[in-house]
Amino acid sequence: MEPEVQVFYVPKFGNSEEEYEDAAAYQAPTRRFAVADGATESSFADAWARSLVRQYTVQPPLTPPNGTPLHEWVIPLQREWHASIKWDKLPWFAEEKARSGAFAAFLGLHFVGGTAAVVRPSFFGRLLRRKPSAGTLRWHALAVGDSCLFHVRADRLLKAFPLDSSKSFNDRPLLISSNPARNQSVWRAVQLAQGDCRSGDWFLLATDALSKWFLSQYEAGGKPWQTLRELRSSADFTASVDKLRAEGSLKNDDTTLLMINWTGVQTAEVPQKISIP
């Protein structure tokens, strides 16, 4: 039960590919998706953003079997980031800057199917087992900062998360840091959301520039998802982004979009009747 997935990105105009600091990752079979946006003013933020999204697709926080909370989930990633830097080879300014840590906005989304119920064996040792009832697919999302998720159903925006207004974007969001000393105020600010997913639903994950554009269009009465759903290739996306930047409606920034399309996928099953002999 896998959706169709597309990922598009364009670096900030004036920057090279190497300077691109957003990241996106997904695992369609396990239905895990993430985007992250490394902060321009921090160092080695691209590596930090990539490690966050990659690990989310391996094992998201707050999920079984351990239900690891986010502040513990990042610890091995912080160690890995720290170890990846050649500290003794860095010039004085690079070392000092890197000691502050890398910062990133982070948005993760995953989908879970129905539940299974197992009944204890009866007194006579007969095991009664109820077949898993698939029920409706459910989605769970986690966000720190201003990368956003948009859930679209039947040509309507059902949910915008964690920000739902174009006025909410500013230059100083709370971001996850690779430096443990810089996260105290972050853990209180983690946003969580969930909902159901039906056949035909679209989920769009975007970093801040595109998210702000999306909400501005929506607030003006438009349906920005229609524009994005028509994209067929990276070249299409780049051309659209170039045009929007030129007309001033999209901020010049790294721009990343991950689209999940559940059209044509059956997301719910009718529970089967069990007969007990």
Partner 1 sequence: MVDPIAGSDGKRKCDSVADAINRLLHNLIIKCARGEGVRNFYEVCVIGYGAHVAPAFSGPLAGRDLVPLSEVANSPARVEERHKKVDDGAGGLISQKVRFPVWFEPVAKGITPMGQALSYAHQLLSGWVPKHVKSFPPIVINITDGEATDSGPVPQAEAVRGLTTEDGNALLFNCHISSQPVAPIVFPDTDSSLPDDFARTLFQVSSPLPATMRDLARSENLTLGADARGFAFNADLVELIRFLDIGTRSSNLR
The least CB distance from residue 47 to partner 1, in Å, is 9
The least CB distance from residue 240 to partner 1, in Å, is 23
Q: Which residues have C-beta within 8 Å of that of residue 192, sequence separation ≥ 6? A: 62, 140, 141, 142, 143
Alpha helices in 59-157 (DSSP H): 70-73, 75-84, 92-100
Q: How far apart are CA 40 and CA 48, in angstroms?
A: 12
The least CB distance from residue 8 to partner 1, in Å, is 21
Cβ proximity to partner 1, 186 vs 250, nearer residue: 186
Cβ proximity to partner 1, 72 vs 236, nearer residue: 72
Total Cβ atoms within 10 A of residue 192: 12
106 touches 24 (CB < 8 A): no
The least CB distance from residue 180 to partner 1, in Å, is 5
Q: How far apart are CA 202 and CA 258, in angstroms?
A: 11
Cβ proximity to partner 1, 45 vs 259, nearer residue: 45
Cβ proximity to partner 1, 140 vs 182, nearer residue: 182
For the chain, the maximum distance between any two Cα atoms, rounded to a whole number of angstroms, is 76
26 touches 268 (CB < 8 A): no
Cβ proximity to partner 1, 100 vs 238, nearer residue: 100
Q: Which residues lie near partner 1 (CB under 8 A)? A: 19, 37, 39-45, 90-94, 96-97, 100, 103, 145, 170-175, 177, 179-186, 208, 253
The least CB distance from residue 166 to partner 1, in Å, is 16
Q: How far apart are CA 46 and CA 146, in angstroms?
A: 16
